[in-house]
Amino acid sequence: MTTTPESLESFLSGRWQRGEGIETTLVDPVTGDELATVSAKGLDLQGALEFARREGQRALRGLSYAARGKLVGAVADVLVANRARYEAIAIANSGNTKTDAAIDIDGGIGTLKYYARLGAGLGDAHALVDDKPARLAKAENYQAIHLMVPRRGVAVHINAFNFPSWGLWEKAAVSLIAGVPVLAKPASATALLAHAMVKDVIAAKVLPEGALSLLCGNAGALLGALTADDLVAFTGSADTAARVRGHANVIAKSVPVNIEADSINAALLAPDAAPAGAAFDAFVREVVREMTVKAGQKCTAIRRVFVPAQTTDAVADALAEKLKATKLGDPRQADTRMGPLVTRAQQAAAFDGIRRLASEATLVCGGAEPPTLDGIDRNRSAFVAPTLLKLDDASEAKAVHEVEVFGPAATIVPYGDEQDAASLIARGGGSLVASVYGEDKDFLVRMVREIAPSHGRILAVDPAIATVHTGHGIVMPQCNHGGPGRAGAGEELGGLHGLRFYHQRLAVQGSSDLIAGLQASAASLH
């Protein structure tokens, strides 16, 4: 007997609503079974935004940062109470292993808890002071200060398919602390987890009406309904990001847009890192982890592996040994270490990218064909084997710096000296993160300075932290997440810095008494 997949409703204007027909069908990437459908056709998106601006703003704006922190903490508590259900959803809809699911689910919950604590630290204030008062003239009592006040619109969050939990809650946590209501649009292909989480939060009634909305389905006319008070935070491909930034209404209304897009991230092994040494082993361990966790479907995953030319073969052998030993299969099996990509469309895109890389590089392991796995139909599943490629000569190669395979694939790139390494890394055009591994701290310092302009974050690993660091690809809420150039030129998180996007920063000029009064009623951002 055939079961009709569940139709995921959207939560807009304070009620659950179902769109017309089917826009996208969600599937299990292991079995190909249909799990649910989504559609936003016929939904009143303009009305949903107006409702959030009116009801959500009224409720949130009247609260202090500390009070909003309590709301965010209550959201985290709801998710913790229901966590056991989420893991099964992540396995079924995203093909996650338990480890993959934990990164997504617990990453979202942890970020909510972190920002709840930050909100509490801002106390009863309703605005933020960004710096100290500045005297403007000979008269000492004429001063200015930079004040930050919450924006009056809605934060539209357009999230990527790879982190349906973390992507949702890391944006929502900051926005809600800032006092700006959220309309979240998860990627349709993996919307099941985001839908389940929001449904639990709405049912628990821990947020004021209008503070959180959910759109399941295509964005449609959403961007055309934005006003100058609204904001957009987008995570996804550079092509889609360009359409968001270039939307006629977004341009006409000067709607602020924060982008996190494609990123061809790098890991670099220092010349002094000898095989079997602490730095070498940490490097190999991290590259393998970044290639296989979530099947390489992380915007921060390592795509380019920079090694001294004389060490190329040793690195290739060490990586290939571990990658070939990685158990690929159904994530429901306890011994599985890597699951499939989320859809067959993503699998096809990954294979196309691997073929483009292989036009300039040698294949070490893996490849652009579905692997043969016991009990799994290769014609219905979305598996890609861990794929390592190697360049013999990096001087003329282009694809490795231009093609991001959003899956378990990376390319070894040999370099000559420090300047050669830095120059090659910069050819990525801007990245979210790079990591550097070595024994010589002076080398690490020089390399950080050299490649810093091309990155939003750098992890520098010496033996002192080789086994204790949080990881190349793990985004911590205390740290900036974003990057220049092709990475989108955006910034998220970074502790209190993340609140800036959701505030209007203005200079206030007046008497020293007035400035002192503003200072007394606001919290410091520093």
Q: What is the pLDDT of residues 59-89, one digit of tens each?
A: 999 999 999 999 999 999 999 999 999 999 9
- Using the predicted structure, report yes or no on whether residue 237 has a pLDDT greater than 70: yes
What is the rounded distance in angstroms from the CA atom of residue 303 to the CA atom of residue 406?
A: 9
- Using the predicted structure, report yes or no on whether residue 3 has a pLDDT greater than 80: no
Which tokens hold the place of 94?
A: 């995203």
Q: Where are the beta strands (DSSP E) in 210-341?
A: 212-214, 231-235, 257-260, 265-269, 302-308
What is the rounded distance in angstroms from the CA atom of residue 417 to the CA atom of residue 524?
A: 45
List the catalytic residue out of 216, 299, 439, 492.
Answer: 299
- Using the predicted structure, report yes or no on whether residue 231 has a pLDDT greater than 70: yes
List the catalytic residue out of 260, 286, 360, 439.
Answer: 260
Calculate mean pLDDT across residues 333-357.
97
Identify residue 397 by its one-letter amino acid code. Answer: A
Which tokens hold the place of 298?
A: 């992380």
Ordered domains of the chain (ranges, CATH)? 45-261+489-524 (3.40.605.10), 265-479 (3.40.309.10)
Alpha-carbon distances, residue 169 vs 75, 225, 241, 472 (angstroms) = 9, 24, 20, 21
What is the rounded distance in angstroms from the CA atom of residue 444 to the CA atom of residue 190?
A: 39
- Using the predicted structure, report yes or no on whether residue 524 has a pLDDT greater than 90: no
- Using the predicted structure, report yes or no on whether residue 248 has a pLDDT greater than 90: yes
Which of 154-158, 272-276, 363-367 has the least mean pLDDT?
272-276
Which tokens hold the place of 293?
A: 């966790």
Instruction: Indicate if 50 belongs to the active site.
Output: no
User: Model confidence at 2, in pLDDT bands (50, 70, 90)?
Assistant: low
Buried b (16+ CB within 10 A) or exposed e, 376-388: beeeebbbbbbbb
**CA-only gyration radius of the chain, Å:** 24
Positive or negative torsion for Cα 471, 475, 478, 482: positive
CB neighbourhood size of 241 (10 A): 22
Calculate mean pLDDT across residues 386-396.
94
DSSP state of 414: E
Tell me: the pLDDT tens digits for 108-143? 999 999 999 999 999 999 999 988 899 999 888 999
DSSP string, 415-481: E-SHHHHHHHHHTT--EEEEEEE-S-HHHHHHHHHHHGGGEEEEEEE-GGGTTTS--SSPPPTTSEE
User: Model confidence at 1, in pLDDT bands (50, 70, 90)?
Assistant: very low
Decide: helix, strand or coil at residue 219.
Answer: coil
Q: What is the mean pLDDT of the chain?
A: 96
What is the rounded distance in angstroms from the CA atom of residue 472 to the CA atom of residue 458?
A: 8
Calculate mean pLDDT across residues 27-53.
97
Instruction: Specify the pLDDT at position 276.
Output: 86
CB neighbourhood size of 347 (10 A): 20
Tell me: the pLDDT tens digits for 277-300? 999 999 999 999 999 999 999 999
What is the rounded distance in angstroms from the CA atom of residue 268 to the CA atom of residue 481?
A: 20
Contact 268, 242 (CB under 8 A): no
Tell me: the pLDDT tens digits for 415-431? 999 999 999 999 999 99
- Using the predicted structure, report yes or no on whether residue 49 has a pLDDT greater than 50: yes
Contact 433, 458 (CB under 8 A): yes
What is the rounded distance in angstroms from the CA atom of residue 301 to the CA atom of residue 291?
A: 7
User: Model confidence at 4, in pLDDT bands (50, 70, 90)?
Assistant: confident
Tell me: the pLDDT tens digits for 428-467? 999 999 999 999 999 999 999 999 999 999 999 999 999 9
**What phi and psi, each to the nearest 5 degrees, are found at residue 277?**
-80, 170
Percentage of the chain with pLDDT > 70?
A: 99
Task: Give the residue, 5 or 458, on which the prediction is more confident.
Answer: 458
Instruction: Indicate if 299 belongs to the active site.
Output: yes
Q: Which pTM was predicted?
A: 0.95
